[in-house]
Structure 1
Amino acid sequence: MFDELKKRANRKSIVAYVIFGAITLVFIFFGYQTFNPNVAGYAARVNRTVISVAEYNEAFQRLSKFYSQIFQGQSFGEEMESRIRKTALDQLVSREIVAQGAADMGLLVPVVEIQKYIIDVPVFQEEGKFRRDYYSMFLEQRHMSAAQFERQIEKDLLIDRLRKITALGLTPPEPMVQRKLAEESQKADLDFVKISESEFNSKPSSQEVSSWLANPENLSSSQNYFEQNKPEFSSEEQIKARHILIKFDANNSQSKDVARKQIDEIHPRAVGENFEALAKEFSQDVGSKEQGGDLGYFGQGRMVPEFEKVAFSLKPGQVSEPVETQFGFHIIKVEDKKPSQVSNFDDVKTKIAEKILAETKRKTVIEELQAALSKSQSVEPLLKKHGLKWESTGEFSLDADFIPKLGAFDTLFEAVYSLKKPSEIFPKVILDAKAHYVLKLKSLKTDKERAGQSEAQVKSRLAQEYSTQFLEKWGSELETKGKVQINPALGMM
């Protein structure tokens, strides 16, 4: 087992740690925010359990805040945001799979333990004492019942209990302990050059594009690209809508009757009066109320089926009859429709040619840099030629899960561990997704604050890390045996 775990240890999987390494109620550390419950439907189905789009959006917001702190407040581009969204959904799916697996093994969390955990949460306390009104307000802001929230706590405690049980049976080998001690006692600072599709300015001139397309072979290449990537040049039907929501308790028929009466009273006014003003006055959707019920543009699969079916049947300007969903009663007004569009080749051939030429130039730059590094030649002339500049990560511990401004991936950590002397450059261009990097060690020094740690402390942390990695691997195995369905509308198939 240790051979496998040691290999996985090199991955520095912060995602696994966030899921399995500790109780995952990160609102305690990163705050919490309300979310729009009507951005509804499902994000994923995991065997017998549904993960809602609302849960997914909230997880994405929490993870974005977490990464923002890791990357020191840097703004994220579309590519990074897409990766964070996928990570957020992966976390929710993995957490659910492992919690189900633990329950199937017979592990239980007593109700009293769940209650004690909630009572001890600082968010729900004033001067060290539990405040039920704080707890109730928190649940209301999250549009959750106490039972739903306590089920989340139960899952987290279940995973935490399983992690501790597995950690008891794992003893890290001495070489790993010594390596960890060495890593934790050193700080590094890197200089790096980033070459990515979004940041490397290699857009060809109009003359270059025209000349390139004049070649029949190049024109054929563009045509092939178009045929193989048609979704890139098309857009789905979208509508822009507002809504008014009146909520009710699904387990209380009287609550539902009251809500039905209220929505029926509002409906005639919604047809003839200012819908935006009525939404601000009556809607109980805290996520869109202040915006007059505005839900923006959305496509198929983004809302719950009952809501979506009615919304897409309306013409711009039309107001629906009351619609019942799991969130309450809605009145919907469609303001605009964007039909699905598919571009023809002639409309996009210039754009395709620009993309192919830019990518060709970027590959040439990477090949030139790799050739220079392989021959131990200076890369400075090439960097100057192509307008590329060194950036600095700032100091970080060698045992860090993330390297500032660069992230976390296997080849990155392997490169960092191999650099020993200031100004030493790693002899290969390394790759992470769509970005390539040249790395240079700026400085390496002892972290005096962490140099005096005991072996026992390190062994304990390593056992927990191995336990986390074991659960991650176990969760992956359970996922292959179970049934996981991701909503295709999220674009993460």
Structure 2
Amino acid sequence: MKKRIGTMVAALLLSGAVARAEMVDRVAAVVNRDVIALSEVEKRAAPELARLGSAVREPQKRAEERARLLKAALDTLIGEKLMEEQIRELGLAATDAELDTAVSDVKRQNNITDDAQFERLLSGEGFTVKSYKEFLRNQMSRMKLVQIKVSPKVKVSEEDLKAAYTQYTKMESEDAEVHARHILVQVDPKATPQQVEAAHKKALGLAEEARKPGVDFAGLAKAKSEGPSAADGGDLGFFRRGVMVPAFEKVAFALKEGEVSEPVRTQFGWHVLKVEERRAVDVAPFEQVKNELETRLKMQKTEKFVEQYVQELRQKASVEVKL
């Protein structure tokens, strides 16, 4: 009797502990026998969730977007769990020797000469040495699985390459390079809203001044810009899409030759842009970009086949989503 009472007490204590654990960290999904906690999902979605806070102001839309981001992160984690089961079954986990070699390669590629420097690099990316090695081992193990189950299906034909080159030439010929100058009014990252607005007003005044007939934009930039290019009259030279920060690039490629923009906000402050010249981009010949196109197509097809493979695993597995 005492033994039974003791068992009952233990069971009650255990159920209480489980209840408290659920209150602290909800279960987002159960994949066969593996549990995915909500905290794992939130951690995986953290970068996108952080951007969401500043990008979407309306509460309902923010809630809907948050739910979408969490679902996408959960789907990714479910896929990884299913692949991990296959890795265990097939004995494909990366060995300690393979991991050590990979870590040495990372250190060599980043010119890292000592462990303290390596720890600082990882810390800047949100890793400890232990968590990074775990992350790297998982990545390497999944790559082994992909090489066996997916890579043999990935084929890129000459017709695929020529079709990709046709699309490439169309995109390149429609694009252009712009030669721009800018005047920067710096804003400290910790600036108050009042300081940001004061800098904005200053930038508005500079934009108005730059548009006056006969004003030399380069001379104005030399005199008033607070950026490192001020000495060169704010000259940024020619650049293509994908080089500048998105907000800056969007305005630069929308301006006509000789046109001066309204102030544009980036992490550096407020910019007033002027496009000096636009020119067409020369399209590289097929043989020159063939290898790059092949690599890109293989990556795209591999991603597609990996998604199909994960869906096949999911159909055969017991997956209970609780999010």
Instruction: Output the TM-score relative to the length of structure 2.
Output: 0.47
Structure with the bigger RCO (C-alpha within 8 Å, sep 6+) is 1
More helix by share: 2
